[in-house]
Amino acid sequence: MSKRAGFVALIGEPNAGKSTLLNRMVGAKVSIVTHKVQTTRARIRGVAMEGESQIVFVDTPGLFEPRRRLDRAMVAAAWSGAADADVVVLLIEAHRGVTEGVERILEGLADVGQGRVVALAINKIDRVQAEVLLALSKNLNERYDFAETFMISAERGHGVDALRGWLAGMVPEGPWLYPEDQIADLPMRTIAAEMTREKLTLRLHQELPYQMTVETEGWEERKDGSARIDQLIYVIRDGHKGIVLGHKGETIKAVSKAAREELEEFLGRRVHLFLQVKVRPNWLDEAERYAQMGLEFKDGNA
C-alpha cells in the first residue's frame, strides 16, 4: 500500500465541537475546548495516523458574522484553512440543526468548496433522537452536494473511527508531511499559553474571555529537568485585571494551578508557571498580538 497524506479542515459554527473532534482524532489535547463560543482563535494542526495515511487535521475558529477586528481575522483564518485543505469537514450541531449561521456557511462553501471534497459531520448525536438526525441529514444534503455524511459524537467517540477511516482514503497519495510521532504543529510556547487561556475562559464570565489574551513571555529549562514558564495575560481594563486576579488573588491562583497541572501532564515533567496580568487598552488593535496568536493583522479601521 502506498503512503498518503493531506490536510483535512474542520469548519463549522462556534461551539460545533471542532476542537473536541481534532483532539479525539489526534488522541491528545492539542486544541483547547470550552463550552463558550469562539474559543479557538487560529488554525491549529493536529496529526493522526491511520494505516499508511497521515491525516493532518486543521482545527479552525468558528465561522460567524464578524464584528470586531479580531472576529474578522478569526473568520478569515477559518475560511483560508478550508481553502488550503484537501478535504473539508463541515461540523453541524445535531440539536441546533440548520441555523442562520449554518445557512451562511453553506453559501460560503458554494465558493470555497468548489473542486474540493466536502463531507458533512453531524456532531453531538448523543443529544438527539434518530428521527431528528435523519431529517437533518436529508435537509442538509438537499442544500449541498456532500461527498459523504457522518453522524458522530466527538465527545463520546461515536462514528469517529468511520470518519477517520474514510478520510484516510480521501487524502492524496504522497509522502508523509510530518515525522510519524509528531502530533501537533504548534510551538510549545503557544500550546502553554492556550492552556492558560482555556482555564481562564472556563472561569471568567460574559465578555471577558473575548477581551483577554495570553502570551508566553519566557521559557527557561532548569537543571533539575523542570521548566520555568512566564506568561502575560492581557486585558483591556483595570476592572478586568481585578476580576482575573479575583478576591485575594484566588482566581489567578486557581487558574495557574489548573494550567500548570495540565502542562506538566503534557510535558511529562515539572513546571513552574508564573502569570502576570497587564492592562493594555488597545491590545485588540495591536499587530504584534495578532502575530502571537498566529492571525493575520489587517491594517485599516478596526
Ligand X SMILES: Nc1nc2c(ncn2[C@@H]2O[C@H](COP(=O)(O)OP(=O)(O)OP(=O)(O)O)[C@@H](O)[C@H]2O)c(=O)[nH]1
Q: What pairs with residue 117 in β-bridges?
A: 87
Radius of gyration of the chain (CA): 20
The alpha carbon of residue 292 and the mean position of all alpha carbons in its chain are separated, in whole angstroms, by: 16
Find the angle CA(280)-CA(285)-CA(290) to the nearest 5 degrees. Answer: 95
By Cβ distance, which residue is nearest to ligand X? 62
Counting residues that bind ligand X (by CB under 6 A) gives 25
Nearer to Mg ion, 90 or 227 (CB): 90
- Cα–Cα distance between 148 and 119 in angstroms, integer? 5
User: Could you tell me if 219 and 233 are in contact, meaning their C-beta atoms sit under 8 angstroms apart?
Assistant: no
101 is in an annotated binding site: no
Counting residues that bind Mg ion (by CB under 5 A) gives 4
The answer to whether residue 129 forms part of the interface with ligand X (CB under 6 A) is no
Choose among ligand X, Mg ion, none what residue 14 binds, the Cβ cut-off being 5 to 8 Å by kind.
ligand X
- Cα–Cα distance between 92 and 119 in angstroms, integer? 11
- Return phi, psi of residue 286, to 5°: -105, 125
Supply 178's cell numbers.
510530518
Segments of 61-139 assigned E as strands = 87-93, 117-123
Among 153, 216, 251, 256, binds ligand X (CB under 6 A): 153
- Cα–Cα distance between 63 and 29 in angstroms, integer? 22
Q: Which residue stretch of 100-108, 118-126, 220-228, 294-302 sits at the interface with ligand X (rule: CB under 6 A)? A: 118-126
CB atoms within 10 A of CB 298: 13
The answer to whether residue 23 forms part of the interface with Mg ion (CB under 5 A) is no
Stretch 52-81 residues interacting with ligand X (CB under 6 A): 61-62
Nearer to Mg ion, 18 or 197 (CB): 18
The residue assigned the cell 491590545 is 283
- Cα–Cα distance between 247 and 234 in angstroms, integer? 19
- Cα–Cα distance between 288 and 181 in angstroms, integer? 32
Q: Find the shortest distance in angstroms from Cβ 174 to ligand X.
A: 28
Binding marks (x or -) toward ligand X, 1..40, rule CB under 6 A?
-----------x-xxxxxxx------------xxx-xxxx
The answer to whether residue 217 forms part of the interface with ligand X (CB under 6 A) is no
139 is in an annotated binding site: no
User: Could you tell me if 119 and 150 are in contact, meaning their C-beta atoms sit under 8 angstroms apart?
Assistant: yes
Nearer to Mg ion, 5 or 184 (CB): 184
Q: Find the shortest distance in angstroms from Cβ 31 to Mg ion.
A: 6
209 is in an annotated binding site: no
The answer to whether residue 40 forms part of the interface with Mg ion (CB under 5 A) is yes
Q: Which DSSP letter does residue 118 get?
A: E
The answer to whether residue 19 forms part of the interface with Mg ion (CB under 5 A) is yes
Choose among Mg ion, ligand X, none what residue 37 binds, the Cβ cut-off being 5 to 8 Å by kind.
ligand X
Among 4, 43, 45, 124, binds ligand X (CB under 6 A): 124
Nearer to ligand X, 53 or 290 (CB): 290
Which parts of this chain interact with Mg ion (CB under 5 A)? 18-19, 39-40
Binding stretches for ligand X (CB under 6 A): 12, 14-20, 33-35, 37-40, 61-62, 123-124, 126-127, 153-156
**What residue numbers does the annotated binding site for GTP cover?**
12-19, 59-63, 123-126
